[in-house]
Amino acid sequence: MKFSADVEANHENRDPLAATDALFSRRWSPRSLRNTEIPQEILDSLFDAARWAPSCHNEQPWVFLTPGDGEFDLFLSLLNEGNQSWAKNAALIGFICARKHFARNGGENRHALFDCGAAWMSLALQASLHGLYAHGMAGIKRGQVHEKLGVPEGKFEVACGFAVGALDQPGKLPADLAAREKPSPRKPLAAVHLRGNARGALAR
């Protein structure tokens, strides 16, 4: 996979192992997004990638909502103000809804949000493969998403919002956001994978 020179230069915070594919460490969540025309087949591939995510009982509890013609501003208005300030420049804004009950027996699906996370990551990685960036957003007006987009509260939980676009110059962002516009570091591997007795760290 190829990354542009500015993206390469920007990644000094990140320290993947040599054996880890760059697809994972090069994905990040810029706020400097640019509205670029995304060809329909590329757009479809983002949601198709999400479709192939694993899920509990293969229930595929995710539903991705995106604007119809003339609805971008409606979707934008359903983000909190902080997210609106940068997501207004994105090519796409959407919401991920989690179906709360199993189709198979009507029981509560306690893994629906977990599965939506897997589907979201597939979308984000597929976006990376097309040179696009996907940015998740918890800062959304959940009640209004239900109300304005007709998402029944009894059936769905709004898991997250997201924006997709091309990378733009950080200088166009408000100064506080521009200063944070860099791929973030991660905890060391040893802090997140506890083998054997290392799990004793959990109690400390």
Residues at the site binding ligand FMN, with contacts judged by CB under 6 A:
28-29, 31, 83, 135-139, 160, 183-184
Q: Are 92 and 33 in contact (CB under 8 A)?
A: no
Least CB distance to ligand FMN at residue 141 (A): 11
When the beta carbons of 55 and 102 are compared against ligand FMN, the nearer one is: 55
State the minimum distance, in angstroms, from the CB of residue 138 to ligand FMN: 4
Q: How far is the CB of 31 from ligand FMN (least distance, A)?
A: 6
- For CA atoms 123, 118, 14, 32, give the dihedral sign: positive
Nearest to 62 by CA among 125, 151, 133, 184: 151
- Residue closer to ligand FMN (CB basis): 138 or 198: 138
- Rounded distance between C-alpha atoms, residue 170 and residue 144, angstroms: 30
Residue 28 vs 38, nearer CB to ligand FMN: 28
Q: Which is nearer to ligand FMN, 12 or 104 (CB)?
A: 12
Residue 165: CB minimum distance to ligand FMN, A: 13
Q: Is 49 helix (H, G, I), strand (E, B) or coil?
A: helix
β-sheet bridge partners, residue 160: 96
CB 33 within 8 A of CB 135: yes
